[in-house]
Amino acid sequence: MLTIHGVPLSVHTRKAIVTAILKKIDYTFEVVIPVMPGNPPANWGTLSPTGLIPVMQDGDFTLADSTAICLYLERKQPAPPILPADIRDYARVLWFDAYAGGTIFRDVVDPLFAQTIVGPNIRDVPTDKAVVNDVLTNVQPKILGYLEQQSTGNFLVGDAMTLADIAITSNFIVYQYLGFEIDAARYPNLAKYLRGIVATAPFQKTLPDERPFVDQMGLQRDFLSLD
């Protein structure tokens, strides 16, 4: 049985969970919250060389990094695929996954999470509003503008859900948990696209499991219609 270590509401943990659900791979879940002092287990440094979540264990095989985990699951259970067969579509999916982790998460979601949740609620450091304003005013418009051009259909690449949709949407779920909204008047394609991916069965199956953590952290969840 496969084990996923992480927090269900984390951007990168959700990528691994949704991929496992999509592929009907059974897994158990171990909660690890790296930002919570004293939380990670004693052997965490061995399981996660970076200290970050998620980590997956499949028997005696341990693997960190959400993309590596998703690609492992793709080989373990090829159907349904999260990577298209077509060479260009395949490459574009890898591009969107890299953009999700390297740009959307690093430049928008992570700083907003750090400023609005980790700082004030866990580290006792007040929100630096200048950082939040910089993200919202200077960083995010270029990213949302690009995604608005790319999200004209139900899926970012091809005609089925891929790693691209899982990685991009997972970021915007956390973004909205934090109380930030995608302006549907300014970004109508993106807003509609994200609603559609959130409504798919794998996301709908895992999102209720996030609720206890969402409630505990005082996050927003109205946009998900989880009730």
Ligand X SMILES: N[C@@H](CCC(=O)N[C@@H](CS)C(=O)NCC(=O)O)C(=O)O
Question: What type of residue sits at position 210?
Answer: E
* CB 70 within 8 Å of CB 16: yes
Q: Does 66 bind ligand X (CB under 6 A)?
A: yes
Spatial separation of the C-alpha atoms in residues 204 and 173, rounded to whole Å: 12
**Which residues does 127 contact at the CB level (< 8 Å), separation at least 6?**
115, 116, 119, 120
Q: Would you tell me how many other CB atoms lie within 10 Å of the CB of residue 139?
A: 16
Task: Give the whole-angstrom CA distance, residue 134 versus residue 151.
Answer: 25
Count interface residues toward ligand X (CB under 6 A).
13
**Rounded distance between C-alpha atoms, residue 207 and residue 223, angstroms:** 12
The region of 4-12, 123-131, 157-165, 215-223 touching ligand X under the rule CB under 6 A is 4-12
Closest distance of CB 120 from ligand X, Å? 16
Residue 163 lies near ligand X (rule: CB under 6 A): no
Task: Point out which span in 50-58, 134-142, 194-202, 203-211 binds ligand X (CB under 6 A).
Answer: 50-58
Closest approach of Cβ 67 to ligand X, in Å? 5
Q: Is 5 in the site for ligand X (CB under 6 A)?
A: no
Q: Which of 2, 4, 11, 73 binds ligand X (CB under 6 A)?
A: 11
CA–CA dist 2, 27 (Å, integer): 5
If the CB atoms of residues 67 and 103 are measured against ligand X, the closer one turns out to be 67
Of residues 50 and 138, the one with the C-beta less far from ligand X: 50
Position 12 contacts ligand X (CB under 6 A): yes
Among 3, 57, 62, 67, binds ligand X (CB under 6 A): 67
Q: Name residues whose C-beta falls within 8 Å of residue 172's C-beta, 6 or more positions apart in sequence.
A: 104, 182, 194
Cβ(200)–Cβ(207) below 8 Å: no
53 binds ligand X (CB under 6 A): yes
Interface with ligand X (CB under 6 A), residue from 8, 10, 81, 147: 10
Contact region with ligand X (CB under 6 A), list: 5-13, 75-83, 193-201, 208-216: 5-13
Please identify, using beta-carbon distances, which residue of 101 and 158 lies nearer to ligand X. Answer: 101
| Of the residues 3, 25, 31, 34, which one makes contact with ligand X according to CB under 6 A | 34
Interatomic CA distance for residues 224 and 104, integer angstroms: 20
By CB under 6 A, tell whether 35 contacts ligand X: yes
Closest residue by Cα to residue 85 from 162, 165, 152: 162
Catalog residues that contact ligand X under the rule CB under 6 A.
10-12, 34-35, 51-54, 65-67, 101
